[in-house]
Amino acid sequence: MIKHKPVIGVATSTTPMPNTEFFACTTGTRAIKSLVEFSDCIPLQIPSIVDTNDCEELINRVDGVMLTGGRANIEPHHFGGKPFPDDETIDPDRDKVVLSIIPACIKAGKPILGICRGIQEINVALGGTLHYRIHLLADKNDHRMAQGDHILTDDIFALRHKIELPLGGYLNKLIGQDSYVVNSLHGQGIDKVGSGLTVEAMSEDGVIEAIRVTAHPNFAIGVQWHAEYIPNKIQHELSWKLFREFGKAARDYS
């Protein structure tokens, strides 16, 4: 009997094409490669311009969803926040589509993996709120990516700080440790936790680093760090196990 690989819908961002009036629906190749290599799944990109009325039917065609990071932040009108400055990068198409996909995915009991912006999307979709800029809060550290003219990719994605994993939580059991070290490339972060979510990890300065959809029947996890960056067993075992378990949940669902 031939076993078919599960198909994973991958969120895309709306990206302006240089020197034109056109846009593209894009996803970072590293996230897709990690999905293929470590989850053993087939990626299918979800255009950020899809009709939201079709989201439930779209979800019926895939075995899970991965919500990747993105340069634009979720617009604050989705969670009652203060308006962005005029120069803030936004992606209203992605906001609209992904915030429609998440409830449909949860309703269908399909696996979800959210990364960076993805954890924030899960939180907002379930009624949570976000801090606009973590580094502007008096009791928080700067969680943004490393800055500079000659910063290399490995410097940007370097491990930056420790996270605490609550005893008995999903991630604590998954890795068998009560703390781990992760990278950090985000400006926004979770403020109020959405309905039906369990906090799975916190940074040492109190920033929420992972959440789980509590009543989900298999796998529905969002993490604030970029788990797609070299998530192999040797270099980052926790991220490797996340991709492995996501793939396993998608195969079980399929």
Residues marked active site are found at: 116, 226, 228
Question: For 174-191, b where at least 16 C-beta lie within 10 A, e where not — what string?
Answer: bbeeeebebbbbbbbbbb
**What 3-state class would DSSP assign to 231?**
coil
| CA–CA gap between residue 123 and residue 63 (Å, rounded) | 21
C-alpha dihedral sign at 214, 53, 57, 251: negative
| CA–CA gap between residue 251 and residue 248 (Å, rounded) | 5
Six-digit token string for 74: 């979720």
Cα of first residue to Cα of last residue in the chain, in angstroms, is 15
